[in-house]
Amino acid sequence: MAVRSAGGARRTHKVPTASIRYEGGPVREVLVRQLRVADFAESTPWRAVRSVHGMTHHSGKYSSATTGGHVVYESRLELARLLLADFDPTVQGIFAQPCRLAARVDDRVRHHVPDFLLVMRSGTVRVVNVKPADRLQDPKIVEALAWPGELIRQHGWEYEIWSGADRVLLENVRFLAGYRRRSVAPEAEVEQAWEQLVDGEELGLAERRLAGDRPPEEARPPLMALLWSGRLRTDLSRPLSGESVLWRCCS
């Protein structure tokens, strides 16, 4: 398999290109070698995502704390990857179906729409495709995902094919996502919990101590908000419980 540039007098455009759709419907075509993160500002997903009763797949819109808006997904597996991206403090931008790639592969022009584009705080850009592990046994699927990866890596960006994560980790992140909005826990209570937390303290003990005369569960939202934001950490490979040990990560 070879991905290469092409163009000529009889062609109206060159490949490889990325076609990006913007608010209101206009589409801009950018040569991949000239593609920059700034090109995705004010962009919209390439395809319209609809959720209809009876559909075999599960699509929708996720309210992202990272972007401050909605990010679309087309399956539960995509939603799981989206949750992890939203939870990851190193991610500062998330774009779903960011563009349609076009490239000449083995003498014919191929097209592909990636699932996500993640912009990291380090400046790294990562293009993500989500596929169930069993579908990666199909040579046609493997080949269809391979050439976009080659194209993306040639451009200096990262490429990821994601098929899932540890079930307990995902369940913990789903639970913590319920505390991703600032309105869930007043900022003053979050800062008070941060200041009064004892490193190495178990969650149940921290709740009882911070609650004082109140029911312990009333002290839970600020602690969960701190875990979601990454300011606190615990072992998320084990189910969250009163025995989970809490540690500060950063100020």
What's the pLDDT at 54?
56
Q: Is 116 within 8 Å of 81 (Cβ atoms)?
A: yes
User: Which residues have CB under 8 Å from 151's CB, separation 6+?
Assistant: 3, 16, 32, 101, 103
What's the pLDDT at 18?
98
What's the pLDDT at 13?
53
Read off the tokens for 29: 């075509």
Asked if pLDDT for residue 133 goes beyond 90, the answer is: yes
The span from the CA of 110 to the CA of 2, in Å, is: 12
What's the pLDDT at 58?
82
What's the pLDDT at 57?
62
- Of 79, 121, 76, 84, the residue nearest 96 (C-alpha): 79
What's the pLDDT at 198?
95
pLDDT single digits (tens) 162-204: 999 999 999 999 999 999 998 999 999 999 999 999 999 999 9
Span 20-40, average pLDDT = 96
Q: Is 238 within 8 Å of 244 (Cβ atoms)?
A: yes
Instruction: Look at residue 1 and give its three-state secondary structure.
Output: coil
- Could you please state the CATH topology (level 3) that the domain comprising 3-162 is classified under: Trna Endonuclease; Chain: A, domain 1 (3.40.1350)
Long-range contacts of 123-128 (CB under 8 A, 24+ apart): 124/157, 124/158, 125/37, 125/157, 125/158, 126/157, 126/158, 126/159, 126/160, 127/98, 127/152, 127/157, 127/158, 127/159, 127/160, 128/81, 128/85, 128/159, 128/160, 128/161, 128/162
What's the pLDDT at 187?
94
The span from the CA of 138 to the CA of 124, in Å, is: 30
What's the pLDDT at 83?
98
pLDDT single digits (tens) 76-85: 999 999 999 9
For residues 208-244, b (16+ Cβ closer than 10 Å) or e, as one string?
A: eebeeeeebeebbbbbbbbbbbebbebebeeebeeeb
What's the pLDDT at 44?
97
In the chain, where the domains are located: 3-162, 167-248
Read off the tokens for 41: 């500002």
Which has the higher per-residue pLDDT, 68 or 1? 68
What's the pLDDT at 7?
46
What's the pLDDT at 15?
77
Q: Could you tell me the pTM of the whole model? A: 0.89
